[in-house]
Structure 1
C-alpha cells in the first residue's frame, strides 16, 4: 500500500513539473512570435552597445539594422543560415536580480579613511563586482536562453573547464602556448590588391622587449581618475581605436606606443583613418574577425570589413609606418583558451580588444598594468571616458564575452586588491617570468 501511495505521489509531481515546464516553453515561444511580428523595431539600447563594442562612434544614429545583417552575412559561409533575434526579451528571466550599484562613491577610499576602513571598502566592493561578473557569465551561458545567434559559425569541440580549479601559473602556462601572430610578407602570396607586397618583413616588435607596459582601456571610470602620470611612466602604452589623449591627459596620459584598431575604425569614413593625427607616429595593430574555422586565404578573400585597400593606401602615404594586421586565427585561439577555462558557454563572438591587447603584450613585457579593465570603485554607467553616453553593458558585455575575460584577468593578477579596486589597474606578469 505504501509503495502505491509513493508511486502516485511521484507520478503527480512529474505531471505537475512537466506541465510547468511546458507552460514555460509556451511562454518562451510566445515572445519569439511577438518578436517576429515586430521585427522592424530594433532596440536602441542593444544597438548602442553593439556599435560601441564594434568601434562605431556613439552618436551615429544613421546605422540601421540592415547593417547588422550585412555584418553577419560577411562573417558566414554561404551555406550557413542564422536567425537574428531583434529587440528580444529574455526567454527565461534571470532569477538573480542585479544588486550591483554603478556610480556610487561609498566604496571609494578618501584621504581621511583609515587603512582598516579602506581595506574593508575594497573587500566589500571586490565581493560585489566579482559576484556581478559571475552572475553575468552564468546568465550568458544559460542554455535555455536564445542560442541561435552564431554569426561566426563557432563549432567549439574542446572541453569547458574552470580556471578556479587551476593555479594562476597553470593558466599562464596555457596562455603562453598561444601566439598572437601578425601577418608578415611571407605569410601572404601577394593576396588581394597585392597586399603581400606591403606587409612588414618582421613581426610586431620582433626581438624587442620592454620592462613596464600599460594597457589603457577606454572605460568611463578613467574620467577624473588622475592616472595620467602613472600611465605615462610605463615604457610602452597601448590604447584602443579612436580613444583620444588630447584634453584628457591628467586621466589617461599623453604617451601612445601602440594603437589597436578594429577593422571598422580603419574602414569607416567617420573615423578619418587616413587623415587623422591620432593614428600617426604610433604603431598600428588592426584586427578583423574571420569565420571560426576559416583559413587565412578564405579570410583574405572575404574579410568581415575590407580593410586591405585602406591598409595599402596608408602604407603608400607613410612608407616607414609600422602597421600590422593580426592573423584572425589568433583571435579564435584566444577564444578557445577562454572557453577552455570557463565553466559557462561563452558568447560566440571574438574577444574584446582589451584581451587581445593583453595577448599581444605578454611576450614583450616584463609586466603589464591594465587600467580600468577590471572595474574599480569608480565604475560607472558611462561607456567611454571621452563621451558622455551612458551604457552599463560596456562594462559587463553584450557582444564580447567581457565577464569571462575580466574574471580570468583578475585571477592571474599579481598586485594587491587595494591597487586593483581603488587605484584602478591589475598587473599581469609577462611570459618571461612564467616558468612552465
Structure 2
C-alpha cells in the first residue's frame, strides 16, 4: 500500500510546481524579448532609424512636436510676467509660415531641380552598402525591412543628391541660385513669408523682382560701402536720451571704439565646421567675430578660441534657454546686439515694437558687466542691407531682415582690411547639420527660411575675391575692407578686383 501525501502537502507541492512553471515561462519570454530588441536595435542602427520610431512609427514622434503657434515662454522679471513667443525657426523640425499652418520640415528633402532630374534618370546604378546583418538577409526581406523602418535608404540617397549639387567634382555655390531650386516645403515657407510681410516692407523692386543689370563684384562692394551705414545707438539719440538708463549706452559709436584691424575672421555656426581643422587659421586673425550662442570650448580645433566680437540677436538675449545674463559664453570680447524693426519705422516706433525685450535685457546685462563693451545696432542698417539684397536679385526675397551672418560680415568689412568668412558658403564638407555644436539637421539652415539666406550667399559669392578652390576646400570667402578701395573713381568701381 503506497504512501499517501496529505491534502495540505499536495496543495503546497502543486502550488510550488505551478510557480516554477510560471517562472520558467517568464524567463523564456524575457529572453525572447531581449533577443527581439537586440535584433531590432541592430537593424535600426544599420538603417540609421531610432528604435522608438521603429516601434511606434515616425508619425507618433512627429505628432508630438510642438505647433509653432502654441509655443509660449515667459520672461520673468521684476515687473511681472511678459509673454514672449519663441521664434519657431529655432524649434526642432518646425519652420514657420502661416502661424495657423506651421510647416514641418524635419528631414525634408530640399534639393535642387537638377538633383531631382538625376534621381529620376540615373546614369548608372551605384553599388549599395549595407551592414553585416543586412548582407546576410535576402534582398526582398531587406527591402521590406527598409520600408518598415522608414525608407531611410531612399532619403539618404536623395540627401546625397542634394549635397552633390553643391560640392561634387569641385562645384561650389552658384550665385544664380533661386527659389525654384528649393524643395516643396521650403518653397512654401518662402511664399508664406512673402505673404505675411510682418515688418511692413514696401520696396518697388520686391514685387516684380526686376533687376536692372547684374553688377560686378567691385560694383556691389561700392554699393554696400556707400548705401549701408554702420550705426550703433548712443545716449544722445531720441528717445533714449530721455531715459535714465541711457547712460548705459556707450558714449562712442562702435566704429570709434573698435579697430581698425588688418585681418578678420567671420566664423559662421555651420555644421560643416566640424572636423574642419580650421581653428589655428581662424585664431591667427587680428579679430574674430562669432554669432549668438556658438561656443568655442571643446571645439577649438575646428573653430578656434579667440572672440573679439559676438553678434547676438534679441531672441538669444531674451530666451531662458540661452542663459544670457549668467553664462560666461558672452563675457569674451565686445557684444553687438540687434533686433528687427518695422521697415519704415523710426527709433521711437521701434522702441515700442521690438520683437523681443532687447532693451530690458540690455540694461540687466550692462549692470552686471559694466566694463564690457556692449553695442546695439541701429535697425536702419538691417533694412539698408536688405534693400541691397533685393535690388541685386532677379526675384522677390523674403521680407525679413538679413541673417546675423551677413550683418556681421558687413560690420567687419567696416573695421578690417581683409575679411575671411568661414563656411558661410558651403565647402566640400557641406552637411544638413545646422550648427557645429548641435545635432539637429535641416536643409533650411543652409538654404534659408526666415532669413533670405539663399540670396545672401548669392551676393557674397559675387563679391568674393578669393578662389573657388578656397571655398571648396576650406569654406573660405575673401572680401576686402571698405577702406581698401576708392569708390569715387568710376574706373576703380568698375575694374577693381
Q: TM-score range by the shorter chain?
A: 0.7 to 0.9
- Is 1:86–2:101 an aligned residue pair? yes
How far does residue 145 in structure 1 lie from its aligned partner after superposition? 4.6
Q: Judging changes above 3 Å, is the alpha-carbon distance between structure 1 residues 89 and 105 closer, same or farther for their aligned structure 2 residues?
A: closer
- Cα pair distance change 1:365/1:103, threshold 3 Å: farther
CA 364–291 in structure 1, closer or farther in 2 if over 3 Å, else same = same
Instruction: Quote the Cα distance in structure 1 between the aligned partners of 2:434 and 2:187.
Output: 24
SS of residue paired to 1:384: coil
Matched, 1:173 2:222: yes
1:312-361 Cα distance to aligned partner (Å, 9 max, x none): 12111222210000111111111011101111100011110010001111
Per the alignment, residue 204 of structure 2 pairs with 157
Structure-1 residue corresponding to 2:235 = 185
Partner SS, residue 130 of structure 1? coil
Instruction: Tell me the number of residue pairs that the alignment of Structure 1 and Structure 2 aligns.
Output: 357
Residues of 2 paired with 1:396 and 1:189: CA distance? 38
Given candidates 66, 69, 85, the residue that maps to 2:70 is: 66
Query: Matched residue of 1:367: which SS?
Result: strand
Distance 1:220 1:204 in 2: 30
Whether 1:198 aligns to 2:245 is no
CA distance in 1, matches of 2:413, 2:212: 19
Instruction: Give the TM-score taking structure 2 as reference length.
Output: 0.64
Q: Write out aligned runs for 1:321-340 (5 A).
A: 321-340=372-391
1:134 has 2:178 as partner:
yes
Q: Aligned pair in 2 of structure 1 residues 205, 88: CA closer, same or farther (>3 Å)?
A: closer
- Structure 2: any 5+ residue segments left out of the alignment? 1-58, 73-82, 88-96, 119-157, 488-497
1:103–1:380 CA contact under 8 A, matched in 2 = no
Alpha-carbon distance in 1 for matches of 2:440, 2:104: 23
Report the CA distance shift for 1:315/1:89 in structure 2 as closer, same or farther (over 3 A): closer
Name the structure where helix makes up a greater proportion of residues: 2
> How far off its partner does 1:308 sit?
1.1
Q: Work out which of the two has the higher radius of gyration on C-alpha atoms and give 1 or 2.
A: 2
Distance in 1 of aligned mates of 2:181 and 2:231: 28
Name the structure, 1 or 2, with higher relative contact order (CA <8 Å, separation 6+). 1
Q: Deviation digits for residues 239-277 of structure 1, max 9, x if unmatched?
A: 000100000000000000000001011111211111111
Q: Distance in 1 between matches of 2:271 and 2:86?
A: 29
SS of equivalent to 1:375: coil
Distance in 2 between residues matched to 1:188 and 1:313, nearest whole Å = 21
Q: Secondary structure at the match of 1:186?
A: coil
Q: Superposition RMSD on alpha carbons, in Å? A: 3.6
Change (3 A) 1:399 1:64: closer
Change (3 A) 1:372 1:411: same
Point out where structure 1 has 5 or more consecutive residues left out of the alignment.
1-40, 48-60, 74-81, 108-120
